[in-house]
Amino acid sequence: MARLIMKFGGVSVADGNRLRHVGDLVKLFSDENEIVLVTSALQGVTDELLSSAQAAARGGNVDEVTAFMKRLTDRHNQAATDAIKNPDIRNEIMAVIAQRLSELEKAYIGICYLGELTARSVDYISSYGEQLAAPILSGVLRDMGIESRYYTGGDAGIITNAEYGNARPLDKTYALIPERLCPIRGVPVVTGFIAKDEKGATTTLGRGGSDFTASLIGAAINADEIWFWKETPGVLTTDPKLEPSAKTIPSISYREAMEMSYFGAKVLHPRAIEPAIKKGIPVRVKSTFDPESPGTQIMQKDVQKADIIKAVTLSSNVALLNLSGAEMIGTPGVAGRVFTALAHAGVNIIMISQGSSEANISIVIEEKHLEKAEEALQEEFPRDIVREISRNKDVCALAVVGSGMAGTPGVAGRVFSAMGRTGINVVMISQGSSEHNISFVVSSADAKRAVQELHREFGLGGERGGD
Ligand code: ASP
Ligand code: MG
């Protein structure tokens, strides 16, 4: 008997049919395991709640609010109708939905009249997506003969500071969660994303916060594993749209998973699994389409692969900035000024490289930050030490990830020989001393070919029997 946390979100909870499928998946594992379910809002609902709140504050149009409430009511009632067969359970859940929506409507109307939207009201309002989804899922489980209760994050013991929109759990959360949820009876369904502050006001854990909720609960009740159900077969060796032979990686370390997410493999946000990492609880990415397959296990231990590299990732929405000037050589503080200026402008830096000649510094940033990054740098260096700032949007950043490369000579050699062999020009290179990834920049036109070549070089599609 293992203790598992299962988290469902996005498309997996889009409508009644999908919710029913969630019930089937839980049932498949509930005989042999203790399960706590964490759910997101029905797909897209959080976005709609937020944009309607902004519209209400701006326009104060009560009719629009009424129309939106009607759409929300219909969608959730439809989901309950499609997913719950027993009329008693269905009616009970629909009454809960009606009750919660009438509370929500009052809040929207208040916003219409006040014309303002505080961070605290945003959290209150955006919490309703999960607050509507959890009762339905719990009803589905009961409909299938599984005992179940639903909880808000606050009811389940998640108490945070009052930093609305991005609240952090207080230490006592770790003691409160087991008090509220254990001993586990049936399959409790907990809302992801939302919590309470010490005064009882609703808080949220940041967009996409349901993953964090799942990790937090898993850490607090010492789960054996935390399962993130997705519409993908697990964590892949690369994007199958770029390389059709991409395979599911059976096992990666927390460290490797983090290196991959920084480079655009939208697996799990590193911050979301932090509580699991702290307690060393393995995390698993499972496919809703293929529940029997083990998916990808993410854990503390590094299981090294003979061919060292586990994945190749590609970020396309990046741009390269290059700062150069002869006076940069031997002048202390230039790099410091560059990074401070970018930080003040709110520009996130993805890669950095400076050769020992010191005559130039290259930086990779998100393409959408390019304008403000350039402005900030021009203001900081009005034609003094930095002579020239050039930019290139037509680039992509690649990373090869694998902890086995630490201390293994020859990996960089293989990466760049592969590029040389196919005539791909490498524009910039960066490797941190952790040696868990080698990142480099190529022009956008070469990116796909570069990914394919590296995937082949390191046997990731199985061509060389790497595993
Ligand atoms: N519903 C929230 C969001 O859309 C949290 C989540 O889905 O993880 O951000
Ligand atoms: Mg680009």
Instruction: Indicate whether 466 pLDDT > 50.
Output: no
**Nearest atom (ligand 1) to Cα of 9:** 7
Kindly report the protein residue whose alpha carbon is nearest to atom 8 of ligand 1. 208
Q: pLDDT tens digit string along 12-62?
A: 999 999 999 999 999 999 999 999 999 999 999 999 999 999 999 999 999
Ligand at shortest distance from the CA of 443:
2
pLDDT of residue 262: 65
Q: pLDDT tens digit string along 228-286?
A: 999 888 899 999 999 999 999 999 999 898 888 766 556 788 889 999 999 999 999 99
Residues above pLDDT 70, as percent of the chain = 98
Spatial distance between the Cα atoms of 167 and 352, rounded to a whole number of angstroms: 31
Average pLDDT over residues 128-132: 98
Given ligand 1 and candidates 72, 202, 207, which is best to mutate, with the most ligand atoms within 8 Å of its CB?
Answer: 207
Domains annotated on the chain, with CATH: 2-231 (3.40.1160.10), 311-457 (3.30.2130.10)
What's the 333 CA to ligand 2 centre distance in angstroms? 29
**138 or 267: which leads in pLDDT:** 138
pLDDT of residue 433: 67
**Nearest atom (ligand 1) to Cα of 130:** 1
pLDDT of residue 176: 98
Residues above pLDDT 90, as percent of the chain = 84
Sign of the dihedral through C-alpha 375, 379, 382, 387: negative
What's the 45 CA to ligand 1 centre distance in angstroms? 9
Average pLDDT over residues 103-124: 97
pLDDT of residue 263: 61
pLDDT of residue 392: 96
pLDDT of residue 465: 41
Ligand at shortest distance from the CA of 444:
2
Given ligand 1 and candidates 130, 193, 229, which is best to mutate, with the most ligand atoms within 8 Å of its CB?
Answer: 193
Instruction: Indicate whether 167 pLDDT > 50.
Output: yes
Residue 195 dihedral angles phi and psi, to the nearest 5°: -150, -165
Ligand at shortest distance from the CA of 369:
2
Given ligand 1 and candidates 11, 132, 210, which is best to mutate, with the most ligand atoms within 8 Å of its CB?
Answer: 210
Q: Which residues line ligand 1 (CB under 6 A)?
A: 9, 40-41, 46, 129, 192-193, 207-210
Kindly report the protein residue whose alpha carbon is nearest to atom 5 of ligand 1. 208
Show the 3-state SS of the chain: CEEEEEEECHHHHCCHHHHHHHHHHHHHHHCCEEEEEEECCCCCHHHHHHHHHHHHHHHCCHHHHHHHHHHHHHHHHHHHHHHCCCHHHHHHHHHHHHHHHHHHHHHHHHHHHHCCCCHHHHHHHHCHHHHHHHHHHHHHHHHCCCCCCEECCCCCCCEECCCCCCCCECCCHHHHHHHHHCCCCCCCEEECCEEEECCCCEEECCCCCHHHHHHHHHHHCCCCEEEEEECCCCCECCCCCCCCCCCECCEEEHHHHHHHHHCCCCCCCHHHHHHHHHHCCCEEEEECCCCCCCCEEEECCCCCCCCCCCEEEEEEEEEEEEEECHHHCCCCCHHHHHHHHHHHCCCCEEEEEECCCCCEEEEEEEHHHHHHHHHHHHHHCCCCCCCEEEEEEEEEEEEEECHHHCCCCCHHHHHHHHHHHCCCCCCEEECCCCCCEEEEEEEHHHHHHHHHHHHHHCCCCCCCCCC
- The pair of structure tokens assigned to 165 is 């929109």
What's the 12 CA to ligand 1 centre distance in angstroms? 13
pLDDT band at 464 (very low <50, low <70, confident <90, very high): very low
Average pLDDT over residues 412-424: 96
pTM for this model (two decimals): 0.89
**404 or 180: which leads in pLDDT:** 180
Average pLDDT over residues 387-397: 94
Mean pLDDT score of the chain, rounded to an integer?
94
List Cα–Cα distances, 275 to 163, 172, 190, 268, in angstroms.
19, 14, 17, 13
Q: pLDDT tens digit string along 275-332?
A: 999 999 999 999 999 999 999 999 998 877 777 899 999 999 999 999 999 888 888 8
Given ligand 1 and candidates 8, 46, 50, 190, which is best to mutate, with the most ligand atoms within 8 Å of its CB?
Answer: 46
pLDDT of residue 265: 59
Q: Would you state the torsion angle of the CA atoms of residues 84, 86, 91, 94, taken in this order, to the nearest 10 degrees?
A: -10
What's the 391 CA to ligand 2 centre distance in angstroms? 11
